[in-house]
Amino acid sequence: MITWGLPFVNGKSMDLVGIASTIVNVSSPACPVDHPVEANVSGTIGTGSKWANSPVTATICGNATDFVLKPGTFFVIGKGAKDMNIEDVTDEP
């Protein structure tokens, strides 16, 4: 499950399936000291919204209990521009 920060799709939650991760560095200088492990993650948004089947990727920094987005990076939704309109960022999923 992924929950979006407001205002993107009004902060709704969506299923995230096919989650995969690859550790990049167990002690990354690019990560906060309390979240030292850098990893590339990916998945696909599950059914039930117009975002269904869209691939997602991010680089995160984690520890044994949680993670944050790597500073200076973005969470990417691979929805093609032809499939998106300006209302997609604020409307209901």
List the chain domain ranges: 2-80
Higher-confidence residue of 28 and 89: namely 28
Cβ neighbours for 69, distance < 8 A, ≥ 6 positions apart:
58, 59, 60, 61, 75
Measured between alpha carbons, how far is residue 29 from residues 10, 24, 70 in Å? 34, 11, 11
The pTM of the full predicted model, rounded to 2 decimals, is 0.77
Cβ neighbours for 36, distance < 8 A, ≥ 6 positions apart:
26, 27, 28, 61, 63
Residue 35 has pLDDT above 70, yes or no: yes
Pair of tokens at residue 52: 């269904």
The lowest-confidence range among 25-39, 43-57, 58-72, 77-91 is 77-91
